[in-house]
Amino acid sequence: MSDTERNWHSHRDAKAARLANAASLLDGKFAKTKDAKAVLETLLSSGDKVVLEGDNQKQASFLSQTLASVDPAKIHDLHMIMSSVSRPEHLDIFEDGIASKLDFSFAGPQSTRISQMIADGTLKIGDIHTYLELYARLYIDLIPNVVLVAADKVDHEGNLYTGANTEETPVIVESAAFHDGIVIVQANEIVDKVPRVDIPGDWVDVVIPADEPYQLEPLFTRDPQNITELQILMGMMAIRGIYERHNVQSVNHGVGFNTAAIELLLPTYGDQLGLKGKIVPNWEVNPTPTLIPAIESGWIKSIHSFGGEVGMEQYIAARPDIFFVGPDGTMRSNRAFGQMAGQYALDMFVGSTLQIDQYGNSSTVTKGRLSGFGGAPNMGSNPTGRRHSTPAWQSLKPKDDPLGRGQKLVVQMVETFGSNKRPVFVDHLDAEEVQKEAKLANVPIMIYSEDTTHIVTEEGIAYLYKTDSMAERQAAIEAIAGVTPVGMRSTEKELADLRRRGIVALPEDLGVRRTDAKRSLLAAQNMEDLVTWSHGLYNPPAKFRSWS
């Protein structure tokens, strides 16, 4: 084959042809709202790899609804690439034949249905990923033909303002814009001038004004009213037994009441311990409202975020020393960079889970619910490519290995029984069953035992990184697993031995009194307290309203 016969720009030609077909629907880059379906039917082609933007907070909801309305006779068998399967139409398109294959990361709200559809063969799974892996594959073997994304404001040049919820828009758009994919944007608003350019207009092909703003969920907001005494107890133990002991400087908190409790204990209990200025100045975390008291009382120096949080906009804008805020005065988030930072630059990840097995593997996948991974495994794993050192990382270095190195702290905090009174500690994860049902290549484990360095329960802390064998690791887990079937295997003698060797610590070993775990220790006890702490800058969504 000679050079003259080979077309080296076939992708570009194909893209140009598709856009030419849509010319009658477009005025420059702009289409009318009512033509959205026709635009998709013209620009999409059966079998395309299509990225539909949507994570656990922000959803390109207008485009997802439009996609679900296209004629399956014209467009079918799309290969969808979606961070999050969140909305009903995300799965409707598979039932209707518009799409047939799915690569995804997280399926929280649709986890039951997706599990059923895989079992029924309605849906073929490529694979389940972490966010970062999915983004990575957009540049290697899942390069998209078309991407469907959402913007807050778009100017007449097609420049996008994505603001506080920039999240994954840049990483998705870039994968298409520089490899002759088509970038289609739904816009909340068309403006003369965007506050700042988050995505340059020349990366954008088509803009469609949406009929209503994209869906945005306040997913990381936890009402302090619902924090329990046990969560406070575990928070106190974690602060003493982990944050303080390992001199942790940088951290990611997963979403949940356990970590919300810690955030609200720092300015009170943490202060009593004299830890202010000594621990956790730097955070990779969504701007959760429960961080406000710690920020206001000077505990926190910097916060980079994966996404925004509804209601926090004004507060963040007024605290540019802490948050990442553009010259226009509004926050910018970036999910891909956030995941990268969370994987490589943090001392510690603190998360929660639904099940932990006898070996210390954990998963949020439970019977019939394929919830996927999101970003937790990026944060909740030890990056073996890491080379820089920090005191906390170094504190986990094995004592007797001359070539040894440090390790990220990966902490799981769970009550031994969930609120449904099912044991969290189990011999075998439900995920093992789900693997068989959904015919997955691997058991969907969120965080592997080998990466898990600490487990905190209301019973105590297991310092798993100190164990020398799997048998010892199991014994440490059993010792803090309460009266779950796993915990019932622990004996008084074993517990005493583990405590003596510092592998397990009970509250009394940490100087924490169970009866001191009171809600009055929380820096904020309800949403209104958070508003007060924020000097009125935090504006909680209506669903959290509980005062007049």
Partner 1 sequence: MRNSFVELHARQRAEALLDAGTGRELIGPLDNMISPQLEPQGIVPESDDGVVIMKGQINGKNVVIAAIEGAFQGGGIGEVSGAKIVSAFEQALADNKAGKTIYPIIILDTGGVRLQEANYGLLSISEIHNIVIALKKYVPVIGLVPGRVGSFGGMSITSALLSYLIGTDRARIGLNGPEVIEQEAGVREFDSSDKNLIWNTLGTKQRLATGIVDEIVDDDVVAFKQAIAAAITAHKDSHRDQKSDFYLTLLDQLDPTAPLDTVGYRKMFAAVQPETHHLAPAQASQTPGTPSRGRLWFEKLTGIQNAQSDVSTVLHAKKDGREYIAIVADEHNRFPRVRHGEVGLVEGFTVASVVNDLVAADKDKAVKTPIIMVVDVPSQAYGYKEELIGIHLSLAASAAAYARARQAGHPVVAFIPGDAVSGGFLAHGLQSNRLIALDDLGITIQAMSKASAARITQRTIAELEEATKHVPAMAYDIENYRKLGALYKLIEGVHSKDANDQAVATVQGVIQHALDSLEDAPTDLSFRYTNPIAVKSGRVATNKVRQMMAEQWPD
Partner 2 sequence: MEKLHFTFKATQPITHPVHIGVVASGDLEVIMRPTTGDSELDIVTGSDGFHDVWQHVLERFFDRYPIQAKFEINDFGATPGVVNLRLTQAMEALKDAQ
Using CB under 8 A, list all residues that contact partner 2: 228-230, 233, 415-419, 421, 457-459, 482-483, 488, 492, 514-515, 517
Burial status of residue 276 (CB atoms within 10 A of its CB: 0-12, 13-18, 19 or more): middle
Phi-psi region of 446 (alpha: psi -120 to 50; beta: other; left: phi over 0): alpha
Q: Please report which residue ranges of 381-508 form alpha helices under DSSP H.
A: 391-394, 430-437, 470-479, 492-500
Which amino acid, residue 147?
A: V
Distance in angstroms (rounded) separating the CA atoms of residues 460 and 471: 19
Q: Which span sits near partner 1 by CB under 8 A: 215-223, 342-350, 506-514, 540-548?
A: 540-548
Q: Could you say which of partner 2, partner 1, none residue 519 binds, taking C-beta under 5 to 8 angstroms by partner kind?
A: partner 1
Helix (H) or strand (E) holding 176: helix 169-177
DSSP, collapsed to helix, strand or coil, labels residue 49 as strand
Tell me if 546 contacts partner 1 by CB under 8 A. Answer: yes
For partner 2, the closer CB: 432 or 509: 509
* DSSP assignment of 51-64: EE-B-SSEE-HHHH
Residues numbered 459-518 forming contacts with partner 1, rule: CB under 8 A: none
For partner 2, the closer CB: 4 or 419: 419
Q: Do 336 and 132 form a contact (C-beta atoms < 8 A)?
A: yes
Query: Residue 522's closest CA among 211, 142, 257?
Result: 257
Q: Could you say which of partner 1, partner 2, none residue 546 binds, taking C-beta under 5 to 8 angstroms by partner kind?
A: partner 1
For partner 1, the closer CB: 420 or 548: 548
Q: Which span sits near partner 1 by CB under 8 A: 94-102, 157-165, 448-456, 539-547?
A: 539-547
Distance in angstroms (rounded) separating the CA atoms of residues 235 and 222: 15
Tell me if 10 contacts partner 1 by CB under 8 A. Answer: no
Tell me if 520 contacts partner 1 by CB under 8 A. Answer: yes
Name the minimum Å distance from CB 230 to partner 2.
5
Q: Could you say which of partner 2, partner 1, none residue 228 binds, taking C-beta under 5 to 8 angstroms by partner kind?
A: partner 2
Convert residues 263-282 into a mask of x (bound to partner 1 by CB under 8 A) and - (unbound): -----x--------------
Q: Could you say which of partner 1, partner 2, none residue 233 binds, taking C-beta under 5 to 8 angstroms by partner kind?
A: partner 2
The sign of the dihedral angle between the CA atoms of 205, 206, 212, 214 is negative
Helix (H) or strand (E) holding 263: helix 257-265
Total of residues contacting partner 1 (CB under 8 A): 13
In Å, the largest CA–CA distance within the chain is: 81
Tell me if 420 contacts partner 1 by CB under 8 A. Answer: no
Name the minimum Å distance from CB 532 to partner 1.
10
Name the minimum Å distance from CB 546 to partner 1.
6
Query: Residue 328's closest CA among 446, 515, 198?
Result: 198
Q: Which span sits near partner 1 by CB under 8 A: 129-137, 425-433, 447-455, 536-544?
A: 536-544
Distance in angstroms (rounded) separating the CA atoms of residues 123 and 85: 13
Which residues bind to partner 1, rule: CB under 8 A?
268, 519-520, 525-526, 528, 542-548
